Amino acid sequence: MPLDPQKPVTYLITSGETTAATTPLTKEFSRLIKLIEAAAAAGLSLVQLREKNLSARVLYSLALQAAEITRGSATRLLVNDRADIAGAAGAAGVHLTTRSIEASVILRAFGEEFLIGVSTHSLTESRTARDGGADFVVFGPVFETASKRIYGEAVGLGRLSDVARELAPFPVLALGGVTLDNALRCLRLGASGIAGIRLFSEPHKLEATVHALREARLTLTAEKIGG
C-alpha cells in the first residue's frame, strides 16, 4: 500500500508513556485518544501506537478505538511490532523495529494491503527492509535527541542523504530531533517525510505543524523548478 509521494509524509509516533497499569479508564489512555482524534482532524499521514508497556488486552482496546477514529480519514494507523493486534483491530498496518519479525514474513501473512513500516539506522537495514516488502522506512536518529540515544550517536544529514538517494523512489522518513526549523533540510536531501514524537505531541498544534511541513515541500518544489 504505497504512500502518497506528492506531499511530505507526516508520521506521528506516540510517546510510549503508558504502563502495564494503564487501562481504558486512565488519563493517559484518554490523552492518547484525544491526540489521535487531533491527528486525524489535521490530516496526518500516519499514526503509530508505540505503547510497548501496555498489556495486549489494553493495546487491542486502544488500537480498536484508534482504528475507528482514523477510518475514513486520510490518516492510517499502525501498531508497533504487534501485527496480530493491528490486524485484529482493523488498523492499516504495523511498524517493525530492528528486533521484530521480518517484513517479508508480515507481507506473506497479511498481504499487500497491510502497510509495513520499518525502523532503520543504516543503509543495509534500510535496503533489507525495502527488499523484504516494507512500504517505507524510518531512518535515524538524524539529529541528536535524548529519546534516541540508546541507538547511538545521530546518523547525521549526510547518511540520510545517502540512504534516500540509494533507495529512491522508495520512501525514507527522517526521524530523530527533527523540528520545523530543520525539516526542510531533511526534505531537501531526499527524505519523503518526517516522523516524530515531540514534533507531533501537542494536539492543538498538529494542524499548524502539518501545514508548515506541506509549505516546506512546496518551497522545495519551487526551488527545483527555479533551479
pLDDT tens digits, residue range 82-100?
999 999 999 999 999 999 9
Please answer whether residues 207 and 75 qualify as being in contact, where contact means their C-beta atoms are separated by less than 8 angstroms. no
pLDDT tens digits, residue range 109-148?
999 999 999 999 999 999 999 999 999 999 999 998 765 5
| C-alpha span between 41 and 133 (Å, rounded) | 30
Please answer whether residues 1 and 7 qualify as being in contact, where contact means their C-beta atoms are separated by less than 8 angstroms. no
| C-alpha span between 9 and 89 (Å, rounded) | 23
Q: Map out the domains of the chain with their CATH numbers.
A: 9-226 (3.20.20.70)
Note the pLDDT of residue 224: 77
> Which helix (H) or strand (E) element contains residue 214?
helix 206-226
The pTM assigned to this predicted structure is 0.94
Please answer whether residues 36 and 203 qualify as being in contact, where contact means their C-beta atoms are separated by less than 8 angstroms. no
136-175: b or e for each residue (b if 16 or more CB lie within 10 Å)?
bbbbbbbbebebbeeeeebbebebbbbbbeebeebbbbbb
pLDDT tens digits, residue range 190-204?
999 999 999 999 999
**Higher-confidence residue: 148 or 78?**
78
Please answer whether residues 110 and 91 qualify as being in contact, where contact means their C-beta atoms are separated by less than 8 angstroms. no
Note the pLDDT of residue 145: 76
In the predicted model, what is the mean pLDDT of the chain? 94
Note the pLDDT of residue 220: 86
